[in-house]
């Protein structure tokens, strides 16, 4: 039963952003490769409608780190082999913060960054879009909302009391704080 037609279904290597791929709304799986300043990230992305999952392996300073991301239309979940905990954020809040500030130095895959990818269609497996039960996810949505209030408020010459402090410093859980800082906050 090899009923795959060759009319436009064959895989094709190209460049573009993961957000652009997601915007196509097609059911496809893509292998991606991205190299920034010697840090190489390779992985597989699964897309079905508004759902996306990415499994990536990054080599940073000779160390391999596996990171994972799931976007289910409401939340984006992110976790890695470097920490037993992950974090989740509401997608609408991420998009709001992206329009208000473009400061993002994430080690994980940036959805707007151009990557090399090679895609083909796949038979959707919805279990790919279910976050793992053995990872505890900290909801970072409120941190993101606080950041937006701070970045969208007019700048004054007076120094705010938490000047120089990271948004993550207010988190009590060490893993959540590490994940927060790792995400560039």
Query: Cα–chain-centroid distance for residue 2?
Result: 34
pLDDT band at 6 (very low <50, low <70, confident <90, very high): very low
Mean pLDDT for the stretch of residues 138-143: 87
Q: Give the tens place of pLDDT for each residue, 89-122.
A: 998 887 777 665 444 434 445 777 788 889 999 9
Mean pLDDT of the chain: 75
Q: Give the tens place of pLDDT for each residue, 32-42.
A: 888 776 677 89
Task: Round to whole Å and give the CA distance between 102 and 98.
Answer: 6
Beta strand 75-80 with 63-71 is: antiparallel
Beta-bridge mates of residue 31: 44, 118
pLDDT at residue 131 above 80? yes
Q: Among candidates 109, 114, 120, which has minimal Cα distance to 16?
A: 114
Q: Give the tens place of pLDDT for each residue, 48-76.
A: 988 999 999 988 777 888 999 999 989 99
């Amino acid at each position: 039963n090899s009923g795959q037609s060759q009319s436009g279904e064959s895989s094709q290597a190209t460049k573009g952003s993961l957000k652009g791929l997601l915007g196509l709304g097609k059911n496809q799986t893509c292998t991606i490769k991205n190299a920034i300043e010697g840090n190489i990230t390779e992985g597989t992305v699964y897309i079905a409608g508004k759902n996306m999952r990415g499994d990536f392996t990054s080599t940073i300073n000779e160390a391999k780190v596996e990171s994972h991301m799931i976007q289910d239309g409401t939340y984006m979940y992110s976790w890695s082999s470097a920490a037993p905990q992950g974090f989740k954020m509401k997608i609408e809040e991420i998009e709001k913060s992206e329009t208000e500030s473009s400061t993002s130095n994430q080690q994980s895959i940036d959805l707007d960054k151009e990557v090399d990818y090679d895609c083909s269609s796949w038979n959707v497996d919805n279990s790919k879009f279910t976050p793992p039960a053995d990872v505890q996810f900290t909801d970072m949505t409120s941190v993101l909302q606080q950041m937006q209030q701070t970045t969208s408020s007019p700048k004054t010459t007076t120094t705010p009391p938490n000047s120089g402090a990271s948004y993550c410093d207010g988190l009590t859980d060490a893993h959540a704080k590490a994940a927060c800082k790792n995400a560039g906050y």
